Structure 1
Amino acid sequence: MTENPIRTERRGHVLEVTLDRPKANAIDLQTSRIMGEVFTGFRDDPELRVAIITGAGQKFFCPGWDLKAAAGGDAVDGDYGKGGFGGLQEMRALNKPVIAAVNGIACGGGLELMLSADIILAADHAQFALPEIRSGTVADAASVKLPKRIPYHIAMEMLFTGRWIDAEEAARWGMVNRLLPADRLLDEARALADHLASGPPLVFAAIKEIVREAEDMKFQDAMNRITRSQFETVETLYRSEDQKEGARAFAEKRDPVWKGR
């Protein structure tokens, strides 16, 4: 295993996380636990507002589970650490934007990791697949998420057959936000992250909690929870200095200065 499988860089309010495990950026149990600690730190650091997750090199974003490590004794149902596989899939109360910059192949658990982000930018040579069916196992997180993100029949075809799709098809079905030349991918992801980091963090937190909690609710049930003050992030927003600052800035015709409190 690479001594430091995860590289991180702080740029102001942005945390850049790079999965760096040659040759393919596969994730074993130890790497997953490290990623869980990284994203827990991101979640809990009030100075950090946006994260970027990407892979080293230009061939692989992440192929998912490290089968060589599994053959060496890593159990597929072992301890993935905080946030589950890759530190993102089950991270509780992660109310900050996460951008995936998909620099190459994203398959299996790597595609599931990608789907854990809020916004997905992809290099135009990237490829995607869920090949678990060929090894007699299930892409569990993708089985939950993918049919809700792209047309049901396309998601089921990918799950049932394991077929590969290219970046253009992924964009056509709405699996990614947009495609970029490889040499522009990180620059565009950083520009987007900086734009988000300049925005109102308490509003982003409220958006993420509402979207997450309301996913399986009826519309009126979700609205009732908001009006009854049952979303913590919404209540924090409505009682915040930032809420007053937004109104003042609008009245004074100037850009607001967000403090996240």
Structure 2
Amino acid sequence: MVEHRSDLLVDVGADGVAVVRLNRPERRNALSRGLLSDITAAFTDLDRRRDVRVVVLRGTGGQAFSVGADLKEMHDRDTAEHLPYEPMREATRNPYETVLECRKPTIAVLEGWVVGGGLELAMACDLRVAADTARFLMPESKVGLGANFGSQMLPRLVPAGFAFEVLYLAEPFDAATALRMGLLNRVTPPEELDATVDALAATLVSRAPITLQRYKAMVHLGSSLPIATALRLDPGPSPYLSEDRAEGTAAFSQKRAPQWSGR
């Protein structure tokens, strides 16, 4: 069943895969205040749903995953209210963090333009799969914004030299370059994009959910810590004490597919 928010479509399948679609194709999925609020609410809900194992985030319309902040809306609001734009406030504070902190594996599906806040949204996901025709851009240095989230996430995903080049120069780059940087996990022809993402999501669903949750927490929490401290992290629940651990070893012994309970 597809849930319609004002600018967002959420479809939770029986296979445990939730597909979230940015749904402003007439504006190339620009991130309006309403859409940012919808993203926050949707990912908060999906994070706590037991029937959701993987979340796929993509755009609609084919022209863009998202062209980033809705600059027209921002200008109109500044003009009408005489208020400057500030990042990480009100509805703009949570969307990237909410996606980043979702405990389920997340996949960004990228086609067309992936710009500014749209690229930041993709960076908030765990995995990024792109059509080889996708184009990427962080234009903030040309429009006087700050890429608050991207300036922190990009150097965590790619070498610092690449991050500075993308942020400083504000020039577009293609999917092959993004793959070479390490920003993308996979690049496919456009006609193979859906099948590639479906296969990747199905593989993630087949893995032990508590283990994946543990991996995600360990990677995010431990990446900025000394190794001796990181090794002592114990974000729960523990896979070692789970019913799934017993099921996994039994299934391996019996040469069958495991039936995960998430407990």
- With normalisation by structure 1, the TM-score equals 0.90
Aligned to 2:164: 156
Tell me what 2:227 maps to: 219
Are residues 1:52 and 2:49 paired? no
Q: Find the counterpart in structure 2 of residue 76 from structure 1.
A: 85
1:239 deviation in Å?
2.1
In 1, are the aligned partners of 2:43 and 2:98 still within 8 Å (CA)?
no
Shift of 1:45: 0.2
**Does the CA contact (< 8 Å) of 2:54 and 2:105 recur in 1?**
yes
CA shift at 1:3, angstroms? 7.8
Q: Which residue of 2 aligns with 1:11?
A: 13
- Corresponding residue number in structure 2 for 1:20: 23
Q: Distance in 2 between matches of 1:184 and 1:80?
A: 35
Conserved in 1, the CA contact under 8 Å of 2:100 and 2:124? no
| Structure 1 segment 1-261 matched on structure 2, within 5 A | 4-12=6-14, 13-21=16-24, 22-73=26-77, 76-77=85-86, 78-80=89-91, 84=94, 87-91=95-99, 93-225=101-233, 230-233=234-237, 235=238, 237-261=239-263
CA contact (8 A) 1:200 1:258 kept: yes
Kindly provide the CA deviation profile for residues 44-85 of structure 1, in whole angstroms up to 9, marking residues without a partner as x.
Answer: 10010001000112211111111111122176335226x71x
**CA distance in 2 between partners of 1:90 and 1:20 (Å):** 19
Letter of the 2:22 partner, please give it. Answer: L
Distance across 2 between alignment mates of 1:164 and 1:92? 24
Q: Deviations over 1:16-59 (max 9, x none)?
A: 01101123100111111111111111101001000100011221
Q: Distance in 2 between the 1:93 and 1:163 partners?
A: 29
CA–CA separation in structure 2 for the residues paired with 1:51 and 1:98? 5
CA distance in 2, matches of 1:123, 1:165: 13
Query: How far apart, CA to CA, are the structure 2 residues paired with 1:259 and 1:57?
Result: 36
Counterpart residue identity of residue 121, structure 2? L
CA RMSD of superposed structures (Å)? 1.9
For each residue in 1:64-113, what CA deviation from the matched residue of structure 2 results, as whole angstroms up to 9, or x when unmatched? 111111122176335226x71xx343457521100000011111111100
Contact (CA 8 Å) 1:16, 1:51: kept in 2 or not? yes
- Residue 65 of structure 2 contacts residue 110 of structure 2 at CA under 8 Å; is this kept in 1? yes
The amino acid of 1:223's aligned partner reads L
What are the ranges of 5 or more consecutive residues in structure 2 without an aligned counterpart? 79-83
Q: 1:112 to 1:168 in 2, by over 3 A?
A: same
Kindly provide the amino acid, as one letter, of the partner of residue 188 in structure 2: L
Report the Cα distance in structure 2 between the residues aligned to 1:9 and 1:24, rounded to whole angstroms: 20
State the alpha-carbon separation in 1 of the partners of residues 27 and 55 from structure 2. 24
1:39/1:88 contact within 8 Å kept: no
- State the secondary structure of the residue aligned to 1:72: helix
Matches of 2:62 and 2:102 in 1, distance apart? 28
Mapped contact 1:59–1:104 kept (Cα < 8 A): yes
Work out the percentage of aligned pairs sharing the same amino acid.
31
Instruction: In structure 2, give the amino acid aligned to 1:31.
Output: L
Output the CA distance in 2 between the equivalents of 1:131 and 1:93.
25
TM-score by length of 2: 0.90
Query: Which segments of 5 or more consecutive residues in structure 1 lack a partner in the other structure?
Result: none
